[in-house]
Amino acid sequence: MFNGVHHINFLVRDLMVAVERYRTVLGIDSFQYGELDGRGVRTARFRVGHTWLVLVQPTDPDSVPGRHLAEHGEGIFLLSLGVDSLETAVRDIKSQGGKFVSESPRKGLENWQLIDLDSAQFFDVQIQLCEE
């Protein structure tokens, strides 16, 4: 069902401090920057193999990522698995008892179509599906 790990989000308090650390210590020199006003975040992402690693700084404390940061602190936030068809994957997973946190997908960076599974079902791993 999944074609790969599409992206992994890390919550950080200060995007530019984090970018500088990844740049200096790990030698990452190619970041792409983004903003998602509807989600209340700004982002910097870099590619590792076939996967994007996305540094995410909440800009709205009342957003989902903002509340997660306040509650749990910085760290890995979610794992987004690539699918060829979000519609098919959602239908299949629902028929297998899977629960989603919303009825319909939302738009991520670069028009990625995203939908989040209920993390309680996966032992506190926030799994998301992504169709590019």
Interface residues with its own copies (CB under 8 A)? 1-5, 8, 10, 12-13, 18, 21-22, 24-27, 48-51, 53, 73-76, 79, 81-82, 92-93, 96-98, 121-125
Least distance CB 49 / its own copies (angstroms): 3
The 10 Å Cβ neighbour count of residue 112 is 19
Least distance CB 64 / its own copies (angstroms): 16
The 10 Å Cβ neighbour count of residue 76 is 12
* CB nearer to its own copies: pick between 57 and 105: 57
* CB nearer to its own copies: pick between 103 and 124: 124
* CB nearer to its own copies: pick between 27 and 37: 27
Least distance CB 50 / its own copies (angstroms): 6
Least distance CB 48 / its own copies (angstroms): 5
Distance CA 92, CA 22 (A): 38
